[in-house]
Amino acid sequence: MREFVKFYQKKWDERLQLLRKNDCLKSMEEALLRKQAINFSLNDTIVENYITDYTLPEGLSFHYLIDNQKYIIPMVTEEPSVIAASSHGAALVEKAGGFTTELHERLLLGQVIIEKVQDAQKFCSYLETQFPRLLEIANQAHPSLLRRKGGARWLRCRILSAHIISLDLAVDVREAMGANMMNTMLEAVAQVLEQSIKGQVLLSVLSNYATECLVSAKCKLPFNILEKNNLSGKQVADKIALASRVAQLDPYRAATHNKGIMNGIDAVIIATGNDWRAIESGAHAFAARSGQYRGLSTWEIKDGYLVGKITIPAPVGVVGGSIGIVPLVAVNQKLAHIKSARELEKVIASVGLAQNLAALYALVTEGIQHGHMNLQLKSLVLAAGAHLEEVLPVVESLRKTGKRDAGSAKKALQDYRKRRDEQ
Ligand code: NDP
């Protein structure tokens, strides 16, 4: 691998040539990398060792009525049926008056971990006397936040073991996600801790377990809108409530329940230029807050309605990070009419609940494969090597066979080509 030393110092063109020279690429593959590198000058500055742009499809989800306001939701995902399911879930809720949401607080948390503490209780008590000074240090490290009416709000000390403590800092990061701002503030606090308080700092960084940045969405569905084939609306509602209870009881089911929720949330997070790894880790940590991993949403029968609720940590931003850099993010914010981080929080909680409703509705009625696989057929046929103009006719013949595997997709494609060539 010596030939790749200081790859990042080479020009983009030289990097691709080097890959060719070392037999990592054939000419067709190199041509594809070049063709896909649409924003190479911008993206070469965003990531290290850049070679090309990896694009994902973007679509729109409709029917969202959130706190009496209509939204069109841009979603970026590679998974077929996510956007259709989102629109389906949202349409059911729209018929029932839409989502209502609640923002609990909007603070980001960060930690300074202090090690080799002799007497943790005593050290915490002493640290508490220093909180006003430490809050001031944090604010001085990023003064523009104060000008925006944000800034460091509070500190707390948690004893993690006999000799390790966590000093937690809560910051109002206004319209940003705030990771970098928080880390700057934490490092300033850590420096003072080491220099004048004589604490030994192990590390300082934000926490993605964003328990002080929670948002909830709720919806209330009359049974009649849930009727499906030979099942009454009440029967469907009972089954959804029971499926939700299973996701509270069983981590195996809960993980899949939450994956469905994150299908929608991640797609909006990516479309709005936010950090989906941060949202994912926070959501799953929150799902395990009781000590057992559980479903993030619940559905229950109450006063003759099916009532769905979700609460998630949503430390998202509408400025900062890559939001101002990736040109499509501004377009997506405009499409969705999202102007504030709080509004985006409400949207993602509602999308998570809509996505979950659509998945549970399908699961307890006709099964997930019916709708899902119809859309997956296109991917199957493309993966079998179909050209774009061949996809629809081959999907149609594959559908008629009732088969859904890669071998059958290849055979359907071969048969289609044979029929076409014989004509
Ligand atoms: P930035 O570092 O870009 O900071 C936010 C920027 O937005 C600042 O420059 C700020 O200006 C500007 N800004 C403009 N208007 C506002 C406003 N109304 N409210 C707040 N800020 C405003 O981004 P973040 O601090 O948000 O960090 C997010 C990035 O950090 C993401 O890319 C994430 O991937 C990454 N990250 C995530 C980590 C994690 O999750 N564990 C760890 C480290 C990084 P000014 O400078 O004037 O205040």
Q: What is the CATH number of the domain that holds 315?
A: 3.90.770.10
Q: Report the pLDDT value the prediction gives residue 400, as an integer from 0 to 100.
A: 86
> Residue 144: which CATH number?
3.30.70.420
Q: Is residue 382 part of a domain?
A: yes
Q: Is 372 a catalytic residue?
A: yes
Q: Is 142 a catalytic residue?
A: no
Assess whether 221 and 340 both reside in one domain.
Answer: yes
**Pairing status of strand 151-161 against strand 305-313:** unpaired
Helices 120-129 & 131-141, crossing angle to 10 degrees? 70
Rounded Cα–Cα distance for residues 162 and 139 (Å): 30
Question: Dihedral of CA 131/168/347/237: which sign?
Answer: negative
What tokens were used for 360? Answer: 């549970």
Rounded Cα–Cα distance for residues 108 and 299 (Å): 29
Residue with tokens 């911008």: 42
What tokens were used for 342? Answer: 């709080």
Residues paired with residue 302 on neighbouring β-strands, in sequence order = 305
Q: Kindly state if the Cβ of 278 falls inside 6 Å of ligand 1.
A: yes
Q: Kindly state if the Cβ of 148 falls inside 6 Å of ligand 1.
A: yes
Mean pLDDT computed over every residue of the chain: 95
Give, rounded to a whole angstrom, the gap between the first and last alpha carbons of the chain: 53
The strand order across the sheet containing 108-115 reads 151-161, 164-172, 108-115, 200-206
Residue 159 burial by Cβ neighbours in a 10 Å radius (0-12, 13-18, 19+): middle
Q: Is 387 a catalytic residue?
A: no
Tell the residue nearest (CA) to atom 24 of ligand 1. 178
Indicate if the pLDDT at residue 248 is higher than 90.
yes
Q: Kindly state if the Cβ of 181 falls inside 6 Å of ligand 1.
A: yes
Rounded Cα–Cα distance for residues 153 and 166 (Å): 17
Q: Is residue 19 part of a domain?
A: yes
Assess whether 78 and 227 both reside in one domain.
Answer: yes
Indicate if the pLDDT at residue 398 is higher than 80.
yes
Of residues 322 and 124, more confidence is placed in 124
Q: Is 415 a catalytic residue?
A: no
Assess whether 165 and 23 both reside in one domain.
Answer: no
Assess whether 120 and 192 both reside in one domain.
Answer: yes
Boundary-marking domain end, from 318, 344, 366: 366
Instruction: Tell me how far the alpha carbon of residue 22 is from its chain's centroid.
Output: 37
Q: Is residue 159 part of a domain?
A: yes
Tell the residue nearest (CA) to atom 8 of ligand 1. 320
Tell the residue nearest (CA) to atom 1 of ligand 1. 320
Tell the residue nearest (CA) to atom 32 of ligand 1. 321
**pLDDT tens digits, one per residue of 300-329:** 999 999 999 999 999 999 999 989 999 999
Angle formed at CA 133 by CA 132 and CA 136, multiple of 5 degrees: 90
Q: Kindly state if the Cβ of 179 falls inside 6 Å of ligand 1.
A: yes
Inter-residue contact 193 to 130 (CB < 8 Å): no
Rounded Cα–Cα distance for residues 127 and 129 (Å): 5
Boundary-marking domain end, from 183, 207, 231: 207
| Choice among 126-135, 206-215, 394-403 with the minimum mean pLDDT | 394-403
Q: Is residue 52 part of a domain?
A: no
In the reported structure, the alpha carbon of residue 175 is separated from the centroid of ligand 1 by a whole-number distance in angstroms of: 9
Rounded Cα–Cα distance for residues 213 and 191 (Å): 27
Assess whether 247 and 319 both reside in one domain.
Answer: yes
Inter-residue contact 336 to 349 (CB < 8 Å): no
**pLDDT tens digits, one per residue of 329-344:** 999 999 999 999 999 9
In the reported structure, the alpha carbon of residue 232 is separated from the centroid of ligand 1 by a whole-number distance in angstroms of: 49
Q: Kindly state if the Cβ of 178 falls inside 6 Å of ligand 1.
A: yes
In the reported structure, the alpha carbon of residue 353 is separated from the centroid of ligand 1 by a whole-number distance in angstroms of: 27
Assess whether 285 and 408 both reside in one domain.
Answer: no
Assess whether 230 and 346 both reside in one domain.
Answer: yes
Q: Report the pLDDT value the prediction gives residue 423, as an integer from 0 to 100.
A: 81
In the reported structure, the alpha carbon of residue 180 is separated from the centroid of ligand 1 by a whole-number distance in angstroms of: 5
CB contact set of 370 (below 8 Å; sequence gap of 6+): 362
Inter-residue contact 268 to 74 (CB < 8 Å): yes
In the reported structure, the alpha carbon of residue 64 is separated from the centroid of ligand 1 by a whole-number distance in angstroms of: 28
Q: Report the pLDDT value the prediction gives residue 387, as an integer from 0 to 100.
A: 92
Mutational pocket test of ligand 1: of 106, 172, 180, the residue with most ligand atoms within 8 Å of the beta carbon? 180
Q: Closest Cα partner for 220 from 166, 300, 294?
A: 300
Assess whether 201 and 72 both reside in one domain.
Answer: no
| Choice among 21-30, 76-85, 220-229 with the minimum mean pLDDT | 21-30
Boundary-marking domain end, from 141, 172, 207: 207
Assess whether 292 and 403 both reside in one domain.
Answer: no
Q: Which atom of ligand 1 is nearest to the CA of 322?
A: 32
Q: Which atom of ligand 1 is nearest to the CA of 206?
A: 41
Largest CA distance in the chain: 88
Name the CA dihedral angle for 62, 65, 71, 75, rounded to a multiple of 10 degrees.
-50
Assess whether 264 and 379 both reside in one domain.
Answer: no
pLDDT grade for 371, boundaries at 50, 70 and 90: low
Q: Is residue 51 part of a domain?
A: no
Indicate if the pLDDT at residue 374 is higher than 80.
no
How many domains in the chain?
4
Q: Closest Cα partner for 126 from 139, 109, 141, 114?
A: 114
Instruction: Tell me how far the alpha carbon of residue 117 is from its chain's centroid.
Output: 37
| Choice among 214-223, 244-253, 358-367 with the minimum mean pLDDT | 358-367
Q: Is residue 119 part of a domain?
A: yes
Range of the domain at 79: 58-104+213-366
Indicate if the pLDDT at residue 375 is higher than 80.
no
Please state the φ and ψ torsions of residue 395, each to the nearest 5 degrees. -60, -40
Assess whether 362 and 254 both reside in one domain.
Answer: yes
Of 122, 259, 334, 387, catalytic: 259
Q: Is residue 383 part of a domain?
A: yes
Rounded Cα–Cα distance for residues 66 and 100 (Å): 6
Give the DSSP H/E element, type plus range, for residue 144.
helix 143-147
Question: Dihedral of CA 59/63/66/71: which sign?
Answer: positive
Question: Dihedral of CA 388/389/390/392: which sign?
Answer: positive
Q: Is residue 53 part of a domain?
A: no
Assess whether 343 and 251 both reside in one domain.
Answer: yes
Rounded to an integer, the average pLDDT of 206-224 is 98
> Residue 400: which CATH number?
1.10.8.660
